[in-house]
C-alpha cells in the first residue's frame, strides 16, 4: 500500500523524527535504515514497519519502494522538505525504512564463539564500523556497555552498512557484571597498546570475549579487573596508535585466521 502524507504532525512522521536519538529508539522499539541499497538488503531478511520516500525519489530508491509495495509493506510518500527533517544525511537518496529494533536477550545468547565487548565507544562511525566487522568475521554477539553510544542511531546504522540488524547486539549492558557472570565459560582479553603478543588470541580453550575500550581512555578500570590479559597490534615505530574501529577489525581478523588455520591443521 502506498499513499501520500503532507502533515508534519502525522503520527508516523513524528515517530520517524524521534528515531535519531537513543531515547526515541528505546521508547518506540524502532530504528531507521536509510538508503536504497540498505533498505533493499533489509527487505531480503526482514519486514519494516513502514517506508518513507521523498516525492523527488527516483532511480533505485523508486525501484525499492515499488518492491516494498509489492510485499504489502506500507510506503508513505512525503515532500522533500518533510523527508529532510527525518534524514540526517547531506545527500539523501530519498528512502528510509522504519524497522523494528532487533530483540536480543543477554540471557538467551549462546555462550560459545567470539564475543565483542565495547567499553566506552562514543563515536557513531567507529561503532558502526566495529559492528560491520563483527558481522563480517562471524562474532556470536556484540555486547555494548552503558558508557557507549547507541548502536542503532542512523549514523551507526549507516557506518555499519545495515549490519546492526544481522548480528545479535545487546546494549546498555553492565559489562563488568556480564564478565563476572561468564568468567567460567569465557576468557576475556582486552586490546591495549601496551599489551602482549597478538598470538594469544589464537590460542584458547574457551569462548573469547574481546574488549575494545574507549577512543580517549581505553578499557575502564571496572572491566579491566576481569581480563585474563591484553594484546597489542604490532606497528611501525613512531606510530602512536590505531583508532578503535581499525584495531577491532584487525584483531577480529586475527582471531578468525587462527580459528581457520586450526580447523585446517
Q: Are residues 21 and 137 in the same domain?
A: no
Per-residue pLDDT of 188-230, as tens digits, reads 999 998 888 888 887 666 799 999 999 888 999 999 999 999 9
Q: In what order do the strands lie in the sheet with 186-196?
A: 169-173, 141-145, 114-119, 207-213, 186-196, 229-231
pLDDT above 90 (res 264): no
Which CATH number covers residue 23?
Answer: 3.30.1330.30
Same domain? 180 vs 251: yes
Judgement on whether residues 237 and 203 belong to the same structural domain of the protein: yes
* Strands 75-78 and 229-231, bridge-based pairing: unpaired
Q: Which of 43, 70, 100 is the last residue of a domain?
A: 100
Residue 227 and residue 163: Cα distance in Å, rounded? 28
Considering the domain architecture, whether residues 134 and 80 belong to the same structural domain is answered as no
Last residue of a domain, one of 52, 73, 100: 100
Helix (H) or strand (E) holding 126: helix 124-136
What is the tens place of the pLDDT at every residue in 5-26? 999 999 999 999 999 999 999 9
Give the sheet arrangement for strand 2-4, strand by strand.
2-4, 75-78, 50-54, 95-100, 30-34
Q: Which of 66, 46, 60, 53 is nearest to 1 (CA)?
A: 66
Domain residues for the domain of 163 are 114-264
C-alpha cell at 35: 538508503
Q: Which residues pair with 51 in a beta bridge?
A: 75, 97
What is the rounded distance in angstroms from the CA atom of residue 43 to the CA atom of residue 35?
12
Residue 51: inside a domain, yes or no? yes
Q: Which residues pair with 214 in a beta bridge?
A: 218
Name the burial class of residue 70, with classes exposed (0-12), middle (13-18) and buried (19+) by CB atoms within 10 angstroms of its CB.
exposed
Question: Do 180 and 91 share a structural domain?
Answer: no
Query: Binning pLDDT at 50, 70 and 90, where does residue 57 land?
Result: confident
Q: Of the candidates 172, 96, 163, which has an alpha carbon nearest to the alpha carbon of residue 134? A: 163
Indicate the pTM of the whole model: 0.91
- Is the domain of 66 the same as that of 188? no
More confident residue, 155 or 90: 155
Amino acid at each position: 500500500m502506498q499513499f501520500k502524507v503532507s502533515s508534519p504532525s502525522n503520527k508516523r512522521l513524528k515517530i520517524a523524527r524521534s528515531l535519531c536519538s537513543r531515547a526515541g529508539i528505546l521508547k518506540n522499539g524502532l530504528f531507521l535504515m536509510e538508503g536504497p541499497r540498505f533498505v533493499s538488503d533489509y527487505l531480503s531478511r526482514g519486514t519494516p514497519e513502514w517506508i518513507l520516500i521523498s516525492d523527488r525519489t527516483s532511480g533505485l530508491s523508486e525501484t525499492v519502494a515499488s518492491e516494498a509495495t509489492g510485499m504489502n509493506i506500507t510506503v508513505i510518500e512525503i515532500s522533500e522538505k518533510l523527508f529532510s527533517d527525518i534524514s540526517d544525511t547531506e545527500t539523501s537518496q530519498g528512502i528510509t525504512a522504519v524497522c523494528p529494533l532487533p530483540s536480543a536477550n543477554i540471557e538467551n545468547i549462546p555462550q560459545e564463539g567470539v564475543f565483542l565487548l565495547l567499553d566506552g565507544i562514543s563515536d557513531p562511525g567507529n561503532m558502526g564500523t566495529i559492528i560491520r566487522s563483527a558481522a563480517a568475521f562471524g562474532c556470536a554477539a556484540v555486547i555494548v556497555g552503558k558508557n557507549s553510544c547507541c548502536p542503532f542511531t542512523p549514523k551507526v546504522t549507516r557506518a555499519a552498512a545495515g549490519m546492526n540488524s544481522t548480528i545479535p547486539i545487546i546494549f546498555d549492558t553492565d559489562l563488568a557484571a556480564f564478565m563476572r557472570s561468564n568468567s567460567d565459560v569465557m576468557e576475556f582479553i582486552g586490546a591495549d597498546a601496551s599489551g602482549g603478543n597478538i598470538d594469544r588470541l589464537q590460542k584458547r580453550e574457551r569462548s573469547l570475549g574481546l574488549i575494545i575500550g574507549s577512543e580517549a581512555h581505553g578499557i575502564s578500570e571496572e572491566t579491566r579487573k576481569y581480563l585474563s590479559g591484553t594484546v597489542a597490534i604490532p606497528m611501525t615505530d613512531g606510530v602512536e596508535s590505531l583508532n578503535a574501529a581499525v584495531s577491532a577489525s584487525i584483531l577480529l581478523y586475527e582471531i578468525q585466521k587462527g580459528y581457520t588455520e586450526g580447523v585446517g591443521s
